[in-house]
């Protein structure tokens, strides 16, 4: 079933990319056509491009994350559940081309795998039509920015849109343990403000390096986490 040019134009505006060859857009949106066509080849390509773009973006934006942190964050961004949410926000279901017998199994918005596959195919189509840079910008604008917007709505910081897999204290402990070094010592330095609006100041000290860092937060735990992240960053910079 053909889709209106207005609906296709609206989708292109949402992803921030206008196709030079609109047939690639139509192909990406073809889950299952009556003539047997589908978007599986573009989905295959888009999956690879999506992984590469997300990996590069995370690597550039988070120089303090190790391989494990980067892997967990990438998985969160490219998993089917997240992609389905993004596809719903883009209203891809309203322009998806799908066979009547498949459509009878339920509404498209209730088919997360179908929506996720279509979004991957759309990434592949942008890559084929406009090249890597166009695909990079589209993924950043759509897939990554969606997660950042959700994080901000929940009161978080956009710079921490996808948090590391483990907190700073755990990562510092594991880093020291791997090198057979003693564990850090945490000390609450002081608190400021009334009990219901208090700021905590904590110190993290590494005795074998005479290394200390300070952190502050709305709780003792938050202050210690900040101090631990500062110490870990220093250790990683100094480590050969």
Distances (CA, A) of 181 to 39, 208, 229, 235: 53, 8, 17, 12
pTM of the model: 0.64
- 172-192 pLDDT tens trace: 888 888 888 899 999 999 998
* Spatial contact of 172 and 184, defined as CB atoms under 8 Å apart: yes
Q: If we measure between CA atoms, which residue out of 53, 43, 44 comes closest to residue 74?
A: 53
Catalytic residue among 47, 129, 203, 230: 47
Task: Choose between 164 and 28: higher pLDDT.
Answer: 28
Q: What is the mean pLDDT of residues 2-11?
A: 82
120 is catalytic: yes
Q: If we measure between CA atoms, which residue out of 68, 47, 199 comes closest to residue 123?
A: 47
Q: What is the pLDDT of residue 108?
A: 55
149 is catalytic: no
Distances (CA, A) of 137 to 46, 56, 102, 163, 212: 14, 12, 33, 22, 40
Beta strands in 7-74 (DSSP E): 30-32
* Ramachandran class of 36: left when φ > 0, alpha when ψ lies in -120 to 50, beta otherwise: left
- Residues 156 and 216: their CA atoms lie apart, in Å, by 17
2 pLDDT band (50/70/90 cuts)? very low
Q: Which residue ranges form the domains of the chain, and what is each CATH number?
A: 5-160 (1.10.1520.10), 168-238 (3.30.160.20)
- 199-216 pLDDT tens trace: 889 999 998 878 899 888
Average pLDDT, the chain: 83
Other Cβ atoms less than 10 A from the Cβ of 198: the count is: 12
Q: If we measure between CA atoms, which residue out of 127, 100, 115, 111 comes closest to residue 32?
A: 100
Tokens 């596959």 sit on residue: 117
Joined together, the tokens standing for residue 168 give 């700073």
Catalytic residue among 43, 69, 117, 120: 120
């Amino acid at each position: 079933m053909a889709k209106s040019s207005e609906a296709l134009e609206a989708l292109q505006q949402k992803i921030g990319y206008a196709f030079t060859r609109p047939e690639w857009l139509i192909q990406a949106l073809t889950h299952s056509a009556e003539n047997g066509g589908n978007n599986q080849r573009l989905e295959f390509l888009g999956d690879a491009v999506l992984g590469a773009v997300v990996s590069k973006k995370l690597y550039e934006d988070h120089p303090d994350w190790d391989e494990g942190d980067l892997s967990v964050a990438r998985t969160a961004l490219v998993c089917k559940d997240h992609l389905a949410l993004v596809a719903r926000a883009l209203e891809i279901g309203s322009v998806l081309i799908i066979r009547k017998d498949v459509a009878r199994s339920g509404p498209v918005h209730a088919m997360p795998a179908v929506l996720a596959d279509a979004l991957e195919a759309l990434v592949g189509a942008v890559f084929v039509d406009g090249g890597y840079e166009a695909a990079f910008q589209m993924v950043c604008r759509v897939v990554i920015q969606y997660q950042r917007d959700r994080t901000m709505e929940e009161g978080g910081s956009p710079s921490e849109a996808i948090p590391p897999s483990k907190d700073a204290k755990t990562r510092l402990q594991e880093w020291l343990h791997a090198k057979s070094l003693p564990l850090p010592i945490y000390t609450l330095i002081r608190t400021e403000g009334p009990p219901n609006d208090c700021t905590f100041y904590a110190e993290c000290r590494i005795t074998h390096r005479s290394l200390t860092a300070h952190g502050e937060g709305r709780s003792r735990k938050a202050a210690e986490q900040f101090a631990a992240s500062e110490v870990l960053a220093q250790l990683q910079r100094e480590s050969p």
